[in-house]
Chain A
Amino acid sequence: MTIAEGQAVVETARRHRRVYQSGLQRLSEGNFTFANELLRLGYLGKVHTLRAHIAPWDAAEMRHDWLPEQPLPPKEEMDWDAWLGPCPWRPYNSEYTRGGWRNHYDFHTSCIGEWGAHTFAQVQVAAGLADTSPVDYKYVANDSGDGMVATFANGMKLVLERDMAGKIWHGSCGVRYEGDQGWVAIADGYSKCEVSNPAWMADFKKLVDDYMARTQRPMNHVRNFFDCVKSRRQTVANPVVMHRSMSTVHAANVCMWLKRDMKFDPAKEEFVNDAEANRFRSRAMREPWTI
Chain B
Amino acid sequence: MSKSRIHLILVVTLLLVCAGSSLAQTVASKSDEPKLIAVVKDSSAPLKARVDACRQLAIVGGKDSIAPLAALLGDEQLSHMARYALQPNPDPAVDEALRDALGTVKGRPLVGVIHTVGYRRDAKAVGALGALANSGNTVVASAAMRALGSIGNPAAVQALRQALPKAPAECKLDCCEGLLRCAESLAADGRRQDAIAIYDQLYKTDAPHQVRGGALRAAIVTRQGADRQKMLKEHLGDEDYILFSAAVQASQGIRTAQATTTLIDAMKSLPADRQILVIQSLGLRGDQDAAPAVLDAAKSGDARVRVAAIQAVTELGDAAAVPVMVQLLDDGDREVAKAAQDSLATFPDQEADGAVMRMFAGDDAAKQRLALDLMGRRRMTGSIPTLLGAARDADSKVRADAIKLIGDLGGPDQLPAMLDLLANAKTPQDLAAIEQALTAICLKATDSKAEADKLIAPLDKAQSAQKVVLLRVLGAVGGPGALKAVAACAKSDNADVRSAAIRELSTWKTVDAAPLLLAMARETSNPSEKTLFLRGYLGLAVRGNMPPEDRLAMCRQAAGLVVRDDEKRLLLGTLSNIESPGSVDLIAPYMDDASCRQEAALATVTVSEKLLRGEGPAPFAAKLIGPLEKAAQAFTDNDLAKRAGAVLARAKSKAGVN
Contact = CB atoms under 8 A, between A and B. Distances in A.
Interface stretch (B108-116, B263-271, B564-572, B577-585): B108-116
Interface stretch (B47-55, B354-362, B608-616): B47-55
B214 A16 contact: yes
Contact of B249 (A213, A232, A282): A232
A285 to B, nearest CB: 6
Interface string A200-232: 001101100110011010000000000000111
A76 interface: no
Q: Name the residue in A64, A143, A284 with the highest tally of chain B Cβ atoms < 10 Å from its Cβ.
A: A284
Contacts, number: 149
Which of A15, A62, A216, A282 has most chain B Cβ within 10 Å? A15
Contacts of A258: 27
A65 B51 CA distance: 11
A61 B143 contact: no
Contact of A16 (B27, B116, B210, B314): B210
Given A202-B444, A213-B345, A232-B249, A88 B81 contact: yes
Contact of A209 (B139, B146, B345): B345
A64 B211 contact: no
Please indicate which of the listed interface residues A16, A209, A275 has the most CB atoms of chain B within 10 Å of its own CB.
Answer: A16
B294 interface: no
Could you say which interface size class chain B belongs to? Answer: 35 or more
Contacts of B90: 275
A287 B111 contact: yes
A288 B111 contact: yes
Contacts of A209: 345-346, 377
Interface string A262-291: 000000000000011011111111111111
Given A64-B23, A209-B346, A17 B246 contact: yes
B606 interface: no
Contacts of A232: 245, 248-249, 252, 277, 281
User: Which has the most chain B C-beta neighbours within 10 Å: A17, A197, A282, A287?
Assistant: A287
A180 B114 CA distance: 54
Given A202-B440, A209-B346, A276-B59, A17 B214 contact: yes
A221 to B, nearest CB: 20
B213 to A, nearest CB: 6
Interface in B116-156: 116, 118-119, 139, 142-143, 146-147
B84 interface: yes
A59 interface: yes
Interface string A128-155: 0000000000000001000000000000
Contacts of B115: 284-285, 287, 289-291
A231 B116 CA distance: 37
A89 interface: yes
A242 B51 CA distance: 31
Interface string B286-310: 0000000000000000000000000
A206 B345 CA distance: 9
Contact of B346 (A143, A213, A288): A213
A61 B142 CA distance: 37
A63 interface: yes
Contacts of B83: 284
Interface in B231-275: 245-246, 248-249, 252
Main secondary structure of the interface of B (DSSP, over half): helix
Contacts of A62: 24-25
A176 to B, nearest CB: 20
A15 B112 contact: no
A278 B88 contact: yes
Contacts of B111: 287-288, 290
B146 A17 contact: no
B38 to A, nearest CB: 19
A288 B139 contact: yes
Given A17-B249, A213-B314, A282-B88, A64 B346 contact: no
B14 interface: no
Contacts of B110: 287
A66 interface: yes
A49 to B, nearest CB: 23
Contacts of A16: 210-211, 213-214
A276 B217 CA distance: 39
B297 to A, nearest CB: 16
A96 interface: no
A280 B377 CA distance: 49
Nearest to B116: A284
A16 B60 CA distance: 37
Contacts of B80: 88-89, 284, 286-287
Given A233-B284, A257-B27, A203 B245 contact: no
Interface in A82-123: 88-89, 105
Contacts of A61: 20-21, 24-25
A214 B52 contact: no
Contacts of B440: 202
A101 to B, nearest CB: 14
B529 interface: no
A286 B113 CA distance: 10
A279 B58 contact: yes
A80 B172 CA distance: 29
Nearest to B252: A232
Contacts of A165: none
B311 A210 contact: no
A17 B216 CA distance: 10
A65 B16 CA distance: 11
B466 interface: no
Contacts of B211: 16
A216 B88 contact: no
Would you list the 8 A-B pairs with minimal beta carbon distance, nearest first?
Answer: A287-B112, A199-B444, A213-B346, A279-B88, A16-B210, A61-B24, A284-B87, A284-B83
Interface of B: 16, 20-25, 27, 48, 51-52, 55, 58-60, 77, 79-81, 83-84, 86-90, 108-112, 114-116, 118-119, 139, 142-143, 146-147, 180-181, 184, 210-211, 213-214, 217-218, 245-246, 248-249, 252, 276-277, 280-281, 284, 311, 314-315, 342-343, 345-346, 376-379, 408, 411, 440, 443-444, 446
Given A199-B444, A286-B112, 13 more contacts: A16-B214, A62-B24, A64-B24, A88-B81, A143-B20, A202-B408, A257-B27, A282-B88, A284-B119, A285-B112, A290-B118, A291-B119, A291-B146
13 contacts: A15-B214, A59-B24, A62-B24, A62-B25, A209-B377, A233-B252, A257-B25, A275-B90, A283-B87, A284-B87, A287-B115, A290-B142, A290-B146
